[in-house]
Structure 1
Amino acid sequence: MPDHTLRLSSGRTLGYAEHGDPAGVPCFYFHGWPSARVQGALMDEAGKKHGLRIISPDRPGIGLSDLHVGRELKDWPALLEELAAHVGAEKFHVIGWSGGGPYVLVTAKTMPERLLSATIMCGAPPLTFLGYEHMFWLYRLMIRIRHAFPTILGLLLRVGEQVSKGKPDRAPLKWLLRMLGPADRAVLARPEIFTVVRAGILEALRRGPKAVIADADIYLSEWGFEVGEIGMLIHFWHGKQDRNIDWRYTEKLSSIMPHVTTRWLEEEGHYSLPITHLDAILKQALGR
C-alpha cells in the first residue's frame, strides 16, 4: 500500500503516500485544492522512469492528516522537515500543482539549502497581493460565500462531494466538466486520470468541509514572506487555456522574483499541462 502515517512532534498525525521509484531521489509532491496525497499517483509512472521517489503528504486536516487549527503557510517547512527526516531525505526536489504552488514557494524561501529543484505547475497566486481580477468565476463566488456565509460554503462542498461521485458523461458532473477548456476535458476523459482526480477530491473531504475550508483559507491570507526575496531558482509552468487559475497570475508573480524560468503552453489547461508535459517538467527539474 502506498499510504503511510507519521506521528509529528506536535502529537498530530501526518498522512502521506509514496509512488514512483522507492529507491529513487526523494521528490516531495504538494497536491492541489481540493485534493489529497492520492493525487501523487499521477506521477507514479514518470517517477519510476526518472528515478524519483514521489512522496506526497496530505496537508493538515486533509485525508489522513489531523487538522491544525490556526495553521499558516509559514508552518509548512517545519512539518516538511519532520517528514523529510522520517523518510530519510536530506536533499530533495519539490513540485507543486495548483494549490500546492505556495507550499513550494515557502519551502524555497525557508530551506533552499535542502532543495535540489523547485517546480510549480499552474500554481495558486498570493491573492492578497495580486487580487481577484483573474480568478475563475466559480472560485470568486466561493470566496464571497466564505466571507459572508461560511456555513453555506460547507453545504456547497458537501453537494460538490456528491456530484463528484457521479458519472462524468452524465449531469450534473457533465455540466461542470463543460466549464473546462478542450485540453482539460480531453485529459479528464481518460479514466485512469479522472479516477485519481476524483479520488483526490473525495479524500480531501473525508474529514468534512471544515478541513477543506481551512485549507482554502491559506490562499486568502497573507503568506508571511516576500516572494521577491526567494533566492533559489523556481521553475514555473502554466497553460494559457487554464480556466481554474489564469496564467497571468503566474506571469505577474514570476516578474517580481529574481530567479525563475517560465514556460507558457498556448493550448494547455489546468489539468492537461501537468499530465501531458510531466516528462519535460521532470527533465527540467533534474537538469537533463
Structure 2
Amino acid sequence: MADHTFRLSTGRTLGYALHGDPKGTPCFYFHGWPSARIQGALMDEAGKKYGLRFISPDRPGIGLSDFHEGRELKDWPPLLTELADHLALDQFHILGWSGGGPYVLVTTLHMPQRLLSATIICGAPPLTFLGYEHMFWLYRMMIRLRHAFPTVLGIILRLGEKIARGHPDQAPLKWLMKMLGRADRAVLKDPIVFEKVRAGMLEALRRGPKAVIADADIYLSEWGFEVGSIGYPIHFWHGKQDRNIDWRYTEKLASIMPHTTTEWLAEEGHYSLPVTHLDAILEKALAQPKPPASCHISH
C-alpha cells in the first residue's frame, strides 16, 4: 500500500491509498463505515489481475484526511473532482462497499461524464426515504442512541475500538462475530481478510470517534437529491444473508432507478460477497458499454 496526501483548494488535506496495478485503469474505491483508505487493500490482488489502479480516499476527518465541519454528501463530488484532476485522471471507474454506496450515488449524479462504470456492493440506503424497517437491530439501537443521547455513540465506538483489537476467537470479539451470518464468519476466519477489515476500522477511529460519527450522521440525514433521478447505469450487488444491511433496501432502491443491474447472491453476506465474488464484480464493471448520451447530463 502506498499512502499519499493532497491539499485541496479549501486548504484541507485529503489522504488516499493506492492499490492494484500502478499503471492500470483508475478506479476509485469508497470505503465502508467505520473504515478508511486501508480497506482498499482488499482490492489489491484483483487490481493487479485486471489491470486496475485502485485509489482509496479517506473521507474528511478519517485517517489522513482533515475534518470538515458540517460536511454533507453533496460535498463529495467537488472533492473527488479535485483529487481526480490532481492525479490527471479524465475518466475512471467507481466502486463503493457498504457505507461507500451513497458516495457512488452522489458521484454518478454530479460527475457522469467522467465515469467508466459505477458499482455498489451491499450499499447503505437512504434511510430517511426507505425507513428503518429492515435495519440490523444493532445499527437500529445505535441510531436511537444517537438521536436520544448524542454523546453515547462516541463511548460505544471507543469501546468497539478496544474490542476490535482482541482475538476473534476470544470474548468479547468472539460474541460480536457470532452475530454475523455463516458466510461472513467463514470469510473472516481468513486472517489476511480479517486483518484488512480490522485495520480499516482501527484507522477510522485512530483520531477518535468525532469524524466517524459525522460520517454516520450523513447516512441518517436527507441526501439532498432524488435517487430516482440518477440516470447513470449502476451495478448493484447484494447478499441475501447480509445482516448488516438488508438486501431488500437495495431491491427497493434499484426499483426506482432507471438504469440498474442487480445481482442477488442467496448464500452470501456483507463481507463474504465482495471477497469471494470480486472477480465477477470487476469483470461486470469492465464490460460495461458506453452509456447512452442521456446519462451524461450534468446536474
TM normalised by structure 1 equals 0.99
Superposition deviation, residue 207 in structure 1: 1.4
Runs of 5+ consecutive residues of structure 2 not aligned to the other structure: 289-299
Which residue is equivalent to 2:280?
A: 280
Quick one: which amino acid aligns to residue 183 of structure 1? A
Which residue is equivalent to 1:78?
A: 78
Which residue is equivalent to 1:14?
A: 14
State yes or no: 1:212 paired with 2:212: yes
Q: 1:122-161: per-residue Cα shift (whole Å, max 9, x none)?
A: 0000000000000000000000010111111111100000
Q: 1:137-195: per-residue Cα shift (whole Å, max 9, x none)?
A: 00000000101111111111000000000000000000000000000000000000000
Residue range with higher mean Cα deviation, 52-61 or 148-157: 148-157
Quick one: which amino acid aligns to residue 149 of structure 1? F
Superposition deviation, residue 109 in structure 1: 0.4
Runs of 5+ consecutive residues of structure 1 not aligned to the other structure: none
Which residue is equivalent to 1:150?
A: 150
State yes or no: 1:46 paired with 2:46: yes
State yes or no: 1:133 paired with 2:133: yes
Which residue is equivalent to 2:32?
A: 32
Q: 1:12-35: per-residue Cα shift (whole Å, max 9, x none)?
A: 010000000000000000000000
Which residue is equivalent to 1:227?
A: 227
Quick one: which amino acid aligns to residue 63 of structure 1? G
Q: What CA RMSD, in Å, does the superposition of the two structures yield over aligned residues?
A: 0.7
Which residue is equivalent to 1:182?
A: 182
Following TM superposition, where does structure 1 have runs of at least 4 consecutive aligned residues deviating by more than 4 angstroms? none
Q: How many residues align?
A: 288
Distance 1:86 1:186 in 2: 40
Distance 2:210 2:133 in 1: 26
Which residue is equivalent to 1:269?
A: 269
Which residue is equivalent to 1:200?
A: 200
3-state SS of 2:151 partner: helix
3-state SS of 1:59 partner: coil
3-state SS of 2:220 partner: coil
